[in-house]
Amino acid sequence: MKSIKKAPMCRKNRWRRLTVLALLPVLLFNSGCWNQVEVVNTVEAVGMFFDIENGQPLLGLQLAEPASSQSGTQPKKPINVYSAGATFSEAARRVMLDVPRLPMWSHVGVMLMGIELTQTDLAMIADFLARNRNVRKTSFLFVAEGNSKDFLEAELPIETYPILGLRKLIRIQEQQTGIYKPVTVDDFLQALAEPGVEPTAPQVVVNEVDGKKVLGLHGTAVFRERRQVGMLDEQESMGFRLMNPGMVTGGLFTFPPPGEEAQNKYISIELTRSLAKVKPQIEGNHLKKININIDAEGNFYEQNFAGNMISLENIGKIEAATDEEMQKRVMAAVGKAQSLQSDIFGWGRMIRQQDPSLWANLAGDWPLVFSGLEVEVTVNFAIRRTYLLDQSFEYLE
């Protein structure tokens, strides 16, 4: 059998192919695009506000003032723009009636939802957040408690753009105080859409400080069936954060020392890491209770009274007192969520994944079932270090 030999490529065809390959990058990167915009015709959007005013969607936008073409310095005054429409998409487009540059929507790092919107129906904003390709899903989401326009006009210490500064504020407080859990747009939408879990978001308020309006964190908004139904206070928010899936790091617990009945005596314990394991106790086809086991460790940080708290005997007592304090805050969060019939912990989702047949029986009445669940919390806390002193400071009499 004769082998068939391929005819050699002619030199002319070879040069044609090389020419096409050489021109391909030029064709790809220099071709026109229907939505191409010159940089000089854009402005950076740093924060957005969504609310309802007079029955219509209201959109507030905080813009970064463009740098001066002569000095090159960035002015420190944000620009606030408000627009309304039948939908939030229309309100966003109507911004173009007042702003001569196209806002760079994907630069928005913080989004606020007004209380009027959250207590009406989240369906009014969910489609805009989920469908719009310009919405940055890693943006941090907050609920604004109060007059909508006050939030864009309020200040935040040190920060040039107050709304964008909330992104730094929610991150730094989590590591230092361990109170509020940051929530992204993606986190919120997943909890809103998935059965067996309800969304939450940290709340922002406007405080009056020395005659100025200043932004501050205040509570965690709790939702049920697309509406805000209540909030967690600081202690409850700390307990809620401790039950987050995965490792929790950072935070500070301050409480009276064990065995001390005098007032104004406190110790501070720094939390370095904590891991919660949640397990539903199922017997047959019945959900009996929820078991929560938390393993944590941290450091003895401070005491505000004379006496030696750092001893082998006291270390065990401090660890037991910290167990009790963490358990108290977790149970406070559970009690508040159950009173609101809002499964913000995702226990229903856990049951749905582990036992689909049991979830099928519970899903219809889950808010009621959740509110009556027995919950058992066990905390095992260990002190790892005492920093610069191995015993408490001694005062000379």
Q: Average model confidence (pLDDT) for the chain?
A: 88
Structure tokens at 387: 């920093």
pLDDT above 60 (res 4): no
Characterize the bridge pairing of strands 140-144 and 200-209.
parallel
Instruction: Find the range with the poorest average confidence among 102-111, 226-235, 256-265, 301-310.
Output: 256-265
Question: How confident is residue 76, by pLDDT bands cut at 50, 70 and 90?
Answer: low
pLDDT above 60 (res 397): no
pLDDT above 90 (res 11): no
The pLDDT tens digits of the residues spanning 127-179 come to 999 999 999 999 999 999 887 788 989 999 999 999 999 999 999 999 999 99
The pLDDT tens digits of the residues spanning 319-342 come to 999 999 999 999 999 999 999 999
Q: Are 22 and 121 in contact (CB under 8 A)?
A: no
Hey, which bits of 312-394 come out as E strands? 374-385
Q: CB within 8 A of 27, min separation 6: which ones?
A: none
CA distance 123 to 263: 49
CA distance 66 to 103: 11
CA distance 329 to 79: 41
Q: CB within 8 A of 53, min separation 6: which ones?
A: 84, 116, 148
CA distance 14 to 322: 77
CA distance 335 to 16: 75
Percent over 90 (pLDDT), the chain: 70
Q: Which domains does the chain have, with CATH numbers?
A: 40-68+76-232 (no CATH), 245-397 (3.30.300.210)
Average of pLDDT values for 226-246? 96
Structure tokens at 213: 């309006």
What is the predicted pLDDT for the residue at 20? Answer: 54
pLDDT above 70 (res 65): yes
CA distance 278 to 291: 6
